[in-house]
Amino acid sequence: MSNFDIAWNADHGYRIPKAGILNIAVANFGFVIVAVLLVGLIFFMLMTAHQKNRNLLQAMNVAIYGAIPPLLSGALLFFPINILISMAAAAYSLFLFWIGVQKVMHIEEKDASVFVALSTTVFFVAMTIVGVLTEKF
C-alpha cells in the first residue's frame, strides 16, 4: 500500500498523493483492457473443439458487450453508496454474457448457464493468480 500517504479515514477513504494519481489511473485502465481481453480468450478456449463456428472475434464481441455495464457504472463510484449500482451492473453483465453466448456464439440454452459459470470461475482464478504475481509491483 505504498501508493497511499495516510491511513484509512471513514469520511474520506484513502488520500492519494497527486504525483501518483496518473500512474494509478493508467495502471487501472490497462488492467481493465487486459481483463476484458482475458474474458474473451476464456470464452474462446472453453468453446468446444468440435463446434464448427469457433471464432475468437465472436468470443471477444460477447466479452466486450458484457463488460459495458460494469465499466459504465464505475464512473458513478464517486460516492460509496453507488457500489450498489455497480453490483447490479455486474449481475446484469452475467445476464448479457448468458444471452451473448447463445445468440453470438451459438451455444445451446441448456449449456449457456454452465458455460458462463465456468468462464466466470476461470476468470476469477486467473485474476487471483495475476494479483498474487503483481503484488510486489
DSSP string, 85-129: HHHHHHHHHHHHHHHHHHHTS---HHHHHHHHHHHHHHHHHHHHH
Query: How high is the pLDDT of residue 84?
Result: 92
Q: Indicate the SS3 state at residue 9.
A: strand
What contacts 87, CB < 8 A, 6 or more positions away? Answer: none
94-131, pLDDT tens digit by residue? 999 999 999 999 888 999 999 999 999 999 999 999 88
Query: How high is the pLDDT of residue 20?
Result: 77
Query: How high is the pLDDT of residue 81?
Result: 83
Query: How high is the pLDDT of residue 123?
Result: 95
Query: How high is the pLDDT of residue 14?
Result: 67
Give residue for cell 486467473. Answer: 126
Query: How high is the pLDDT of residue 130?
Result: 85
Q: What is the number of residues in the chain? A: 137
The residue among 28, 54, 32, 29 whose CA lies nearest residue 43 is: 54
C-alpha cell belonging to residue 102: 447463445
Query: How high is the pLDDT of residue 6?
Result: 60
Query: How high is the pLDDT of residue 124?
Result: 95
Q: What H or E segment, with its residue span, contains residue 53?
A: none
In DSSP terms, which residues pair with 13 in a beta bridge?
9
Phi then psi dihedrals of residue 13, to 5 deg: 70, -145
Query: How high is the pLDDT of residue 94?
Result: 95
Write out residues in the chain with pLDDT < 50, as ranges.
1
Query: What pTM was computed for the model?
Result: 0.81
Query: How high is the pLDDT of residue 82?
Result: 86
